[in-house]
Amino acid sequence: MDPDLSRLAAAVEEHGADGYLFDGHDDSDQYYVCGFDAPDPFLALYDGADVHLLVSGLEYGRAEKESRAATVARLGEYDYQERAARDGPKEARLDVIAAFLADHGVGAALVPGSFPTGTADGLRERDLGVAVERSDVITEIRSVKTDEEIDHVRAAQRANEAALRRAEELIANAEIRDGILYRDDEPLTSEFVKREIEIELLRNGCALDETIVAGGADAADPHDRGSGPLSADEPIVVDIFPRDKESKYHADMTRTFLRGEPSEEVRERYDATLEAQEAALDAVAAGVTGKAVHDAVCDVYEDAGYPTLRSDPSTEVGYIHGTGHGIGLDVHEQPTLNPTGEELQAGQIVTVEPGLYDPEFGGIRIEDLVVVTEDGCENLTDYEKRLVLD
Amino acid sequence: MDPDLSRLAAAVEEHGADGYLFDGHDDSDQYYVCGFDAPDPFLALYDGADVHLLVSGLEYGRAEKESRAATVARLGEYDYQERAARDGPKEARLDVIAAFLADHGVGAALVPGSFPTGTADGLRERDLGVAVERSDVITEIRSVKTDEEIDHVRAAQRANEAALRRAEELIANAEIRDGILYRDDEPLTSEFVKREIEIELLRNGCALDETIVAGGADAADPHDRGSGPLSADEPIVVDIFPRDKESKYHADMTRTFLRGEPSEEVRERYDATLEAQEAALDAVAAGVTGKAVHDAVCDVYEDAGYPTLRSDPSTEVGYIHGTGHGIGLDVHEQPTLNPTGEELQAGQIVTVEPGLYDPEFGGIRIEDLVVVTEDGCENLTDYEKRLVLD
């Protein structure tokens, strides 16, 4: 994939800089620009046309092979070892970076807000200009996906479906004793289901840092990950957001399950959420604002009598979060489907995830992942929506 | 655990600053100082006596409960929403940080080299002093572990042993056909063994980003992760460095296995590596330098006729890396057992991992994890050392 960085080139020129500089690792913007990551910080320069890397000897071979860089230089080419022995590793690295920038005709660099102050100040001491880019232009470029990126997210969502299926099976096959779900004579816990989700994801090439399997009152806080034995007759929110280990792209999906008998209230809340999600999915299209999609959800919930943050900014129950977010190299990225959401563009990938929360009834959330198209959206999620598992 | 931050207080005073400031997340120094982490950057101030946090409303409850901070403030207490609506989220956050620092009497802050330039420059524009601390004092403090930290590493090494046992079983039980290891009529691959290692680690509360299962010529590069079918009659290096998901502390261990018949050369290399490791383990003690431990390994290898980077700095075969590294919240941290290694202190945890590499014979490495004590070391690793699996 060759990203279109013309807007980054324009930002560099606008700031009167000679290039855009990264000095990090494990950073989605840096990875997007250079197509390479490493276990330790490395330097990446975009000169308005090409990307140039400065890496340790250890990473050189892989950077040559994997990155999109036009050139890859080693610290050693700038006598790093000799300088480090004489001046210490930090001063040596700064001197090497300054020499590398001089080689590429860079006297002033634009950098991301996250650029390390140690490097920025060190370069300034060496008479180089360092200015912070504050409009997040790369994040904006990243929000519209290429076909290849969409395929990466699609593949991660397939793995996600397999993992969700495993969670559903565990809940569906549990025995109910005294209102608690059991498996092999042990209470079925959030922790166990989460572990089995992780194992299924690993088998499908994905990993994750966190996942949510939350029942009852736990799920009334949308950020609670859930813990302890799962109960019958209560909704259980399962929200999985894995990353494909190879492509580094994410997927995201939520379903709410219930074993036993839902109360009438829970049934109504589930149906209202289904209807709210349908309204949002119908609203999504290029040119429509994220705010309009969010409003479509609020309309349904408010008509059904539930409070939303739109109708009552201080409410702690009802619909208390935004409708969705972009996804890609980061699990949360641009654009947003919330009260400040701007115009959607074709090729953006967003989650659509309305939900209702109340400590009395627990939490309910239904989340799909869609690609924005010119006249609507394509749903990347293939998983039925069903509350009660018999 | 309450870390002893007196040396950090001294560094703050030495620099004429009023406090030490972090603005990050997923950072071991920041986590060590405040006992808290979050999915997004948050502010942590050490004022020479106590830690004070500034977090989003979303993280407030957890920060109050989990962190070691004396006080936890919310962005909202400083009118963040109103400021953001008026001035945008970045300016708003900087204004809030400036107000928070004023509340704590901080006019000049010491920061780590990784501190974001966007925040540093923004605070300087608001007439606050920001200076980079360049001696890595927190990293130094972190190198000596408390009993609680040692227990965390010990627990992670138990999980590591279970995972290594699983890898050993897979290799030991493989069928040999035409020199290739098979399992269920499929070649046994590095990828499969790594996945099974990961699954076993998950079952034991650990996770990892990378692991090494490398046979034959792959293993002659100590940084190669290994790929493809595993062969008989060749050493297979299995190096696992998991992180306990709860405590966030790491473990590390390597064994080299072989199915079939080792050549005489491979047997000799294995025995020399065992002897070199024994010499290093004998050498480790408080007051001994990391260099002396490394030299003990080089002595054994050179006496046995193998090149080392000490005897030939340009060699690409033989003993071509350092003897070990500290481990804790990071998988590589202070101190080091290498040619520049300084005096070891009781309570430091280090790996001891000599090895021999040559594309002709593959790679051999044996790695244990030990705690430095006043008169030697305690080995945290309980796993036999045996090359040939029958």
Half-sphere exposure of B38 (CA within 13 A, CB side): 24
Contact A118 B130 (CB under 8 A): no
Determine whether the interchain pair A116/B116 forms a contact, defined as Cβ–Cβ distance below 8 Å. yes
Does residue B65 sit at the A interface (CB-CB below 8 Å)?
Answer: no
The confidence score (pLDDT) of residue B1 equals 76
Kindly tell me if the per-residue pLDDT of B209 is higher than 90.
Answer: no
With an 8 Å Cβ cutoff, are B132 and A113 in contact?
Answer: no
The closest CB to that of B199, out of A116, A132, A199, belongs to A199
Q: Which of A271, A262, A239 is nearest to A390 (CA)?
A: A262
Which residue blocks in B214-339 are alpha helix, DSSP H? Answer: 264-283, 290-303
Q: Using DSSP, state whether A245 is helix, strand or coil.
A: coil
Looking up tokens 């330790």 gives A40
Return the structure tokens found at A155: 């593949």
CATH number of the structural domain B6-141: 3.40.350.10
| 8 A C-beta contact, residue A178 and residue A200 | no
Asked whether the beta carbons of residue A132 and residue B111 sit closer than 8 angstroms, the reply is no
- Look at residue B58 in the predicted model and tell me its pLDDT: 83
- Mark yes or no for CB contact A112/B118 under 8 Å: yes
Tokens found for residue A102: 């001089």
- The domain spans of chain A are 6-141, 144-379
Mean pLDDT throughout B212-216?
96
Per-residue pLDDT reduced to its tens digit, A257-288 = 999 999 999 999 999 999 999 999 999 999 99
Is A2 a residue whose pLDDT tops 90? no
- Which residues partner with B45 through β-bridges? B21, B52
Residue A351's H or E segment, with its range, is: strand A349-352
Contact A118 B112 (CB under 8 A): yes
Taking residues A5-28, report their average pLDDT.
Answer: 97
Q: Which residues of B touch A203 (CB under 8 A)?
A: 195, 199
Q: To the nearest whole percent, how much of chain A has pLDDT over 90?
A: 95
In contact, B331 and B367? CB cutoff 8 Å? no
Chosen for mutation from B59, B121, B135 (greatest number of chain A CBs closer than 10 Å) is B121
Check residue A219 and give its pLDDT: 93
Does the CB of B113 have a partner CB in chain A at under 8 Å? yes
Question: What are the pLDDT digits (tens) for A35-79?
Answer: 999 988 999 999 999 999 999 988 999 999 999 999 999 999 999
Residues 6+ apart with CB under 8 A from A208: A198, A201, A240, A241, A242, A243
pLDDT for the residue A1 = 76
Q: State the pLDDT at residue B44.
A: 98
Q: For the purposes of burial, counting CB atoms within 10 Å of the CB of B16, is it exposed (0-12), middle (13-18) or buried (19 or more)?
A: exposed
What mean pLDDT comes out for the span B157-175?
A: 98
Interval A24-34: pLDDT, tens: 999 999 999 99
**Chain A residues inside the 8 Å CB shell of B113:** 90, 116-119
Would you call A76 an interface residue with chain B, using a CB distance cutoff of 8 Å?
no
pLDDT above 90 (res B317): yes
Quickly state the pLDDT bin for A223 (edges 50, 70, 90): confident
Per CB-CB distance under 8 Å, the chain A contacts of B223 are 58
Q: What is the pLDDT of residue B333?
A: 96
Strand order in the sheet with A212-215: A212-215, A236-240, A253-257
Q: Any idea which of A128-132, B57-61, B68-72, B112-116 has the lowest mean pLDDT?
A: B57-61
Nearest Cα of chain B lies from the Cα of A346 at a distance, in angstroms, of: 26
User: What is the reported pLDDT for A298?
Assistant: 98
Terminal Cα-to-Cα distance of chain B (whole angstroms): 45
Q: What is the crossing angle of helices A290-303 and A264-283, to 10°?
A: 150
* Average pLDDT in chain A: 96
**Is the Cβ–Cβ distance between B210 and B255 less than 8 Å?**
no
Compute the count of residue pairs across chains A and B with CB atoms less than 8 Å apart.
Answer: 64
- Asked if A223 has any chain B CB less than 8 Å from its own CB, the reply is yes
**pLDDT given at position A209:** 84
Using pLDDT thresholds of 50, 70 and 90, give the confidence band for residue B39: confident
- Is pLDDT at B186 greater than 90 in this prediction? yes
Best interface-test mutation with B: which of A59, A66, A121, A134 has the largest number of B CBs within 10 A?
A121
CB B298 within 8 Å of CB B341:
no
| B144-379 is a CATH 3.90.230.10 domain | yes
How far away is chain A from the Cα of B261, in angstroms, using its nearest Cα?
Answer: 32
Provide ipTM, 2 decimals.
0.93
Under the banding of pLDDT at 50, 70 and 90, the label for residue A342 is very high
